[in-house]
Structure 1
Amino acid sequence: MKKLSAFLLAALIAVSALCSCSGRGSVPTGPVVDIGDDREEEHILLSELMADNSGFVMNCLDDWVELYNSGENEAELTGYILAKNGAKSEVMKLDGIRIPAHGYAVVKLTDDSPFRLSKDGGGVTLIHGSKVVDELSYDASIGEGSFSHEGACEYPTPGYPNTAEGYAAYLDALELPGVRINEVVSSNSTHIPVDGEYYDFVEIYNGSGEAVDLSLYTLSDKKSEPERYRFPETTLEAGGYFIVYCSGNAAPDQAPFKISSSGETVYLFREGTLVDRVKVPGDLNKDASYGRIGKGFEYMSTVTPGAENVTGYQADLPAPTASLPSGAYDAPISVELKGEGDIYYTLDGTEPGEKSKKYTGPIEVNSIASIRAVAVDGSRRSELASFFYLVGIEHSCAVINVAIKSEYLTGSEGVLNHVDPEYEHEAFVTMMDQGELCFSVPCGFKLHGNDSKKGDKQNFQLRFRSVYGMSKLKYKVFENRDIDTFNSLLLKGGSEDFVFCGFRDELCTSLVDGATELSVQAYRPVILYLNGEYWGFYWLRERIDTEYCAQRLGVSADSINLVKDYGDSVVAGSGKGLMDLIKYCKTHDLRNKEDYDYVMRRIDSTSLMDWYICRSYMGDSDLANLRFYSSAEDDGRWHWCFFDLDWALWNNTEDPIGRTARNDGNHAIIVALLKNPDFRDKFLKRYAALMGSILNEQAITRKADELAAIMEPEIEADRARYGLSVSGWRSSIEKLKSYVKDGKRDRTVLAGIQNYFGLSDSEMKAYFGRTR
């Protein structure tokens, strides 16, 4: 069966049959009637139904059921009822409906009807008197399609035969709206830039034959919010076009929403009344459009903003497929590529074109291969397909390969040659574990970090955006997280610690994960390849962004206020609340209960305490890279993120409290709070508790050995790539463990605490059970 969206997910106006039962009378509702279980043959049949009409464009949004009269005479349906799933309580009387011989009636199911059809599957039963006349069941797999006794329909045809001819007749009978949606691009990196940026867009066409006031119209991606974008006060001449840039920004003359590359419906309203809509298919290629050709919509490889749509196709040219999935194989393999038209491919991960090698037969792989392929058929060009194979090569953990144009990696515009965060390029990432494919999806690829960008082993970001064809990665990456949706991920190679242990940050953050109220990034060990070239051992990490914060609080990403550094740099939302709080703490004495309560209502105080306790014990000297977040959909309190500890567990002579709780920037909050006796008591008790659980020699040594064991099978190859020694790595681990060996760090910390707070020996024993 061809994909429904290739034919029908279009912005069309309905025949009157749907909303008025083909003019054969309204459909009354009535009391519950008894349903028998006998069946009799009649001429009235259930011929088609649609349970989800959100993508099939009509002048209403209702489900519908089509009835067919196979008899030679007109049928009047007095005494007939429709029942949902054969139930006695959800029935609709069909009295008054007439169907001509060999004709159809379309019964709409609205919110006022006794029942609606479920998108998750079900069925309807046609009953006459106490006799079952016909039954039609369906399942959720039909999606936004229609269903008949033969199964899922190739395209819905309400009021017409379920055939290609019936569909053509249905389209021919439609009356298009004068002002209508004409073309849509849902993933754009090429067409009509706006200040150097490329946005999704919707083209509106005035086919009414006369000028119209465009300000009467609105556009939305949500049928329940028709005024998300209001057109400007302008006149659109007959035959004219208007482009709406769907940037998702609040900029003037831009729609505050994007169009999902996974597919969604766009709605056009006039003074609040729906006049047109189009279901943009999820398989639309990047930089291609979905445009109106005649009365239907088709895929268009040539985008025509501001001009007539000329050439379309019933389906986009699919990307080539491979006979074997990406993965690890023990012995040499033969990979066959299949697709429409001609196939061109490369073996080094770079992007293929018509000047690349043309596929003529199986590709033999006996080592490492990063195959990228494209299908070309006339003017049509498919999306790129990427496949990654390891033959005879074993790894102890998951493997990631990033396929990217060579010039985007090492060229003058390559990410490896630019520390500028704006240098992000399109790539394709494949991950496999234990030889099995985890995911293989398009993404953006860029450097990550600050000083680490200039090192030999750089860190990277994987960014999932609709412009690349994948707005979110949907895969459960981390075993200890109930999260399977990601906007972005990090590939962290140890940062400043990579020449030493390579896991300081992972050690520190995993210690506090679950044992404190701090937000930390999950990790997973991986081996990284770039275009099939071995790049070393990495940690795949969560990235702290609005989606990350929203998942922690169970709120929407749009509600997140995310602030970095000293509170004066806003990532998302607003940082005013935090800056006001810092100012308040600098100008008020929190020994005053009213002032103290004011601050405590605005922070997650346990998260705050945990951050300073853990940072001070671990002796991290890099305190500038900070993240805080809050949400009005939660309790509005600020929460602390615990990350970037690559300089931790180094200098045991570090003054643990004095340096960490210095009175500058956002640290003013803890300094002010520690002047309050109640808070200081809570802080010291919390410190003692954490030293008893995770901040001690046993816990840190155990975690260091655990992470070293993960890296051990891969460390020789990793060190060799970067000109480092395995013996140096082992020595670094022993030095890290010496930081806490024989209680050395405990003694330094307790001395610092006693000095900072001016505690007596008896007070130290009361809190910590000892003085040093």
Structure 2
Amino acid sequence: MKFFSVRKHALLWARLFTAGLFLVLLFFVFRKYENGLYTDPVLSLRINEVCTISPGTTEGDSVTYEDYIELYNPTSQAVSLEGLYLSDDAGDPLQAALPEGEIEPGGYYIIYAAGEGDSAPEGTPSVAFGLSEEEVIMLTWVCELEDGTESAHTIDSVYVPASISPGAVYAATEDGGDSYGQLSPSPGLSNASASAILEDPVFLTPGGFYEDSVEVTLTAAEGLSIRYTLDGSEPTEDSPLYTEPLILTDPSSSPNVWSALENITTSDRNYEIPDTPVDKAAVVRAAAFDGEGNRSGTVTCTYFIDFDEKEGYENAAVLSLVTDPENLFSQEEGIYVRGSLYEEALEAGLIYEGLSWIELMDYTHYYLEGMSSERPAHLELYSVYGDALLNQSCGIRIRGNESRSFPQKSFTLYSRKRYEKESFDPVLFDTGISYDSLILNNSKTPKKVFFFSLVEDREAAVQEYIPCQVFLNGEYWGMYYLMERYSSEYLEGRYDASPEESTLIKDTRYVADGVEEEIESYRALRDYLDREDLDDPEVYEGLLEQMDMQSFIDWMCVNIYIANTDNKPLENNVYTWKSDGSTETALPENMEYSDGKWRWMLYDLDDSLAAGTVYADSGAWSMDSFTEHAVYASSGYLDDKPMPALMKNADFRRQFVLTFLDMANENFRPDRVLALLDEIEEQYSSWAELSWERWNTNLQDQTFSEQVEELRLFFENRFDSIIPCLAEHFGLTGELVTLSLSAENGGAVSLNTLDLDLMDGSWQGRYYTDYPVTLTAQETDGAAFDHWEIEGGSIIEGSQDSASIQVRLEEDTTVRAVYTES
């Protein structure tokens, strides 16, 4: 008897069903191959190279620094870009469609990842997203099937890892291959032509200050050799081979090299090179090589040897700036010299010796601007205690206007990811700000930075600074001021202004940082300030919704008081800014700055103390800078826009007069100013004298002490000279009287725009009786305000017990705020 197996029978039918299903699927796959879906050469395209830190690629006659993606076509057929998409977002693989075109057989295709707000070179393909590390880049193809439906296929994807070295790209080690690594960029070329980026060597002996000598030890990965230089140049395979620790001693007695160059300015400056060796530091630059044409990045350290025995460095911050000498001093590429532009123009008869700096701007390398004038460098900053504050690579440009033609030039320092970091470490000025750029300003005059220190409490922004002794490629280059640079980072750090919603405008003409479209908002403000009816309260109220009037008035009062002759509130040497939103972590006191109003920033105060006028050489304090002006200017402050229109408004005039008197009585109070001058003279004098000697072999500049004395004389006499001018121009007819303030049992009092701490005594200032003053008793710990006691004046708003009052000054007036213990 045969038994029927149910289990075997079921398995047989299951196998037959599976085989049938396979044949059906095979049929459909065959049909799709027959229709070209899986045989189309587009499926062979590969992401060949991803650049997240562009060191610069050449497009036509220019260089662009946008990141890019390179596609490679390994087939023998041209491949259309139709239906292709790139994305860095797995949730949106169709993020950016590629433009019309095709990739030639065996060809390479560059797509710039410009990101929002950035711009790819004109006429080049781009996608509107940026690139970063630790993300996946996807290439997707969308095609239409026979039935009219669309089908999306991921052709290729590449994960970009973290820690891509500056100057490297993440690329297929063989064109179209599956193995990726860090290579040198080769956009539009085979990756076979790209060298590998090796691991950097390491200094085991840190840069800094040493006595007698220093033994410098380096190490590199196994199998690599180290080559080094001592002149600031980039190491090559022909540079000296490092085989044992370097023994370095003080090189200061060696002949000057960069300090011996005369082509850093023109003959009309009457510059003479130093006639003795300048102080020097030892600079070591090193790179690793593998003998197969591959190299690492360059590492740099600066060693200051026996500086305890040298004058001019005690308690000084010291900064070393190192770059390949070709970047600064070569005739063709150098940005610190007159260069080939000058020599060729001279030979062609386009220029001649003796022309002024302004006539030579188009013919000297140090007047080159923009990204093409930026050079890579390495920065080390040591604090007054000798510890390293900054040690990183950056970009440098020459900055300024006339000062570019000075022998001691100023620099702008840029921290960019392609050099090493997106920003400088937040260790400067006690602000906690990670700046993307800084200013290294020459110390020809202390006026610019000193005035900032006088008005830090005002509503017009100022720049913090650090005086430092600078070495350029190891040679002493003088005293400089390392300064903040106005930027979105500055606004975020100072005012909690959201970078996405803030705008910074320079010289009223262009957006220096932030939202480009807001230039229209600024132009609307300028147009509004042109109105003839600002005396109308409603019109003036509309103006106050667009600008912070206190910020504007503070800016005006500073420039007028210091007799600055090269700034205009709606023209040159001025920054303005606004913010329409604050950061999530904004402090309560900073919330007001997100109100969308335009505010003013103090900038470039070099031409103060009546520069360019008959008062400059004697009696600068007597200049009526309300209306008088330099020979190169067409008008004074009151005759420049927007002052003629604003002066029609009584509220504006009152606010201006009281603010001017507040600042004259407190910010520019002679005893306060002179105390600060004494302080900086004691601290800076030895540094400044060394710098003056470095740049004045042929005597031309005032010494630091002479400039400090000039400032002393100016502020000792300025109040008595400029205050009558204020009265004349603003039609004040009242008496100038003395206001004395004090607080019983301690306390703080606000006077108009001033916050005065009266805990340690009384305060005096002089005010015209035309306008009442506003007094507010501030809350203090341990004391409660009780009442006011007033002699010589009367309360016209509030009462004796009110914390805030307005007082009419009728004669010399004494006001005492009485507090009781709480």
Match of 2:380 among 409, 430, 455: 430
Deviation at 1:190, TM superposition (A): 5.8
Among 35, 52, 60, which residue is 1:186 paired with? Answer: 52
How far has the Cα of 1:364 moved from its partner? Answer: 0.8
C-alpha distance in structure 2 between counterparts of 1:710 and 1:719, whole Å = 15
- Structure 1 letter corresponding to 2:454: L
- Confirm whether residue 508 of structure 1 aligns to residue 451 of structure 2: yes
| 1:68-87 pair list within 5 angstroms | none
Which residue in the other structure is 1:419 paired with?
A: 367
Q: Which residue of 2 aligns with 1:48?
A: none
Counterpart code for 2:242: Y
For residue 543 of structure 1, the aligned residue among 475, 478, 485 is 485
Q: What does residue 27 of structure 2 align with?
A: none
1:676 aligns with 2:649: yes
| CA gap 1:538/1:512 in 2 versus in 1, 3 angstroms | same
Q: Secondary structure at the match of 1:656?
A: coil
From 247, 250, 254, give the equivalent of 2:119.
Answer: 250
Match of 1:531 among 470, 473, 479: 473
Per the alignment, do residues 699 and 194 of structure 1 end up closer, same or farther by CA in structure 2, a change over 3 Å counting? farther
Structure 1 length normalisation: TM-score?
Answer: 0.69
Tell me which residue corresponds to 1:587.
531
Equivalent residues of 1:301, 1:380 under 8 A apart? no
Query: Does residue 620 of the first structure (1) align with residue 564 of the second (2)?
Result: yes
* Residue 406 in structure 1 maps to residue 325 in structure 2: yes
The equivalent residue for 1:323 is 204
SS of the residue aligned with 1:652? helix
Evaluate the alpha carbon distance shift between residue 303 and residue 678 of structure 1 in structure 2; reply closer, same or farther with a 3 A threshold.
closer
* Distance verdict in 2 for CA 1:690–1:216, change over 3 Å: farther
Shift in alpha-carbon separation, 1:582–1:664, aligned structure 2, 3 A: farther
Give the counterpart of 1:363 among 233, 242, 246: 246
Q: List alignment gaps of at least 5 residues for structure 1.
A: 1-175
C-alpha separation in 2, matches of 1:683 and 1:267: 60
Aligned to 2:668, what secondary structure does the other structure show?
A: coil
Instruction: Specify the structure having the higher radius of gyration (Cα).
Output: 2
State the partner residue of 2:816. Answer: none
| Distance (whole Å) between structure 1 residues aligned to residue 636 and residue 702 of structure 2 | 42
The aligned counterpart of 1:380 is: 294
- Per the alignment, residue 796 of structure 2 pairs with none
| Residue matched to 1:648 | 608
Matched residue of 1:415: which SS?
coil
Q: Counterpart amino acid of 2:404?
A: K
Q: Which residue of 1 aligns with 2:659?
A: 686
Distance 1:255 1:703 in 2: 54
How far does residue 561 in structure 1 lie from its aligned partner after superposition? 3.1
- 2:308 matched to 1:335? no
Paired position in structure 2 for 1:389: 303
Pick closer, same or farther for the CA change 1:373–1:258 going to 2, 3 Å.
farther
SS of 1:748 mapped into structure 2: helix
Equivalent in 734, 737, 740 of residue 715 of structure 2: 740
What pairs with 1:40-51 in structure 2 (closer than 5 Å)?
none
SS in 1 for 2:596: coil
Change (3 A) 1:194 1:469: farther
Show the 5 A alignment for 1:252-331. Answer: 253-260=125-132, 266-268=137-139, 276-291=157-172, 296-301=178-183, 303-306=185-188, 309-310=191-192, 316-331=197-212
Q: How far off is 1:284 after superposition?
A: 2.4
DSSP-derived class of the 1:544 partner: coil
Query: Does the CA-based 8 Å contact 2:136-2:157 persist in structure 1?
Result: no
2:227 is aligned to 344
CA drift of 1:302 comes to 5.0
1:712 corresponding residue in structure 2 = 685
Asked if 1:629 is matched to 2:573, the reply is no
Change over 3 Å in CA distance of 1:666–1:655 after alignment to 2: closer
Kept in 2, the 8 Å contact 1:471–1:487? The answer is yes
* Distance change (3 Å), C-alpha of 1:457 and 1:302: closer
| Structure 1 range deviating more: 400-409 or 716-725 | 716-725
Equivalent residue number for residue 699 of structure 1: 672
The alpha carbon displacement at 1:708 in A equals: 1.9
Could you tell me which of 574, 588, 609 is aligned with 2:553? 609
Is the contact made by 1:284 and 1:290 (CA closer than 8 Å) also made in structure 2? Answer: no
Taking a change above 3 Å as real, the CA distance of residues 225 and 747 of structure 1, as seen in their structure-2 partners, is farther
Match of residue 455, structure 1, among 393, 406, 429? 406
The equivalent position to 1:577 in structure 2, one of 503, 507, 521, is 521
Q: Does the aligned pair in 2 maintain the 1:220–1:226 contact within 8 Å?
A: yes
SS in 1 for 2:407: coil
Note the aligned Cα RMSD (angstroms): 3.4
Cα distance in 1 for residues equivalent to 2:664 and 2:138:
58
CA distance in 2, matches of 1:178, 1:518: 60
Distance in 1 (alpha carbons) for counterparts of 2:479 and 2:87: 46
Paired residue for 2:783?
none
Q: How far is the alpha carbon of 1:320 from its aligned partner?
A: 1.3
2:723 to 740, 750, 754: 750
Q: Which residue of structure 1 aligns with residue 793 of structure 2?
A: none
Matches within 5 A, 1:189-228: 189=55, 191-199=57-65, 200-205=67-72, 214-221=81-88
SS state at 2:550 partner:
helix
Q: Which residue of 2 aligns with 1:474?
A: 425
SS where residue 360 of structure 1 aligns? coil
CA contact (8 A) 2:535 2:650 kept: yes
Please say which of residues 221-230 and 659-668 is displaced more in the overlay: 659-668
The alignment-based identity, stated in percent, is: 27
Q: Is the contact made by 2:198 and 2:296 (CA closer than 8 Å) also made in structure 1?
A: yes
Give, as a single letter, the amino acid of the residue that structure 1 aligns with 2:68: F
Q: 1:636 to 1:464 in 2, by over 3 A?
A: same
TM-score by length of 2: 0.65
Does the Cα contact within 8 Å between 2:323 and 2:377 map onto a contact in 1? yes
- Provide the C-alpha distance between the structure 1 equivalents of 2:651 and 2:89, rounded to a whole number of angstroms: 50
In structure 1, C-alpha distance between the alignment counterparts of 2:135 and 2:684, rounded to whole Å: 44
Q: Displacement of 1:195 after TM fit?
A: 4.0
In 2, distance between residues paired with 1:310 and 1:407?
Answer: 29
**Which letter does structure 2 place at the counterpart of 1:637?**
K
Task: Flag the 1:645–1:410 CA change in 2: closer, same or farther, 3 A.
Answer: same
Per-residue deviation, residues 24-78 of structure 1 (Å, max 9, x unmatched): xxxxxxxxxxxxxxxxxxxxxxxxxxxxxxxxxxxxxxxxxxxxxxxxxxxxxxx
Partner Cα distance (1:304, 1:732) in 2: 54
Specify the code of the residue in structure 2 equivalent to 1:474. D
Q: Secondary structure at the match of 2:59?
A: coil
Superposition map of 1:546-565 within 5 A: 546-565=488-507
CA contact (8 A) 2:86 2:95 kept: yes
Q: Deviations over 1:413-446 (max 9, x none)?
A: 2121122224221111111222222222111112
Cα distance, 1:212–1:456 mapped onto 2, change above 3 Å: closer
1:282 is paired with a residue whose SS is coil
SS at match of 1:707: helix
**Counterpart position of 2:100:** 233
Query: Once the 2 structures are TM-superposed, how far is the Cα of residue 286 of structure 1 from its aligned partner?
Result: 0.6
User: Any residues of structure 2 matched to 1:29-178 within 5 Å, and which?
Assistant: none
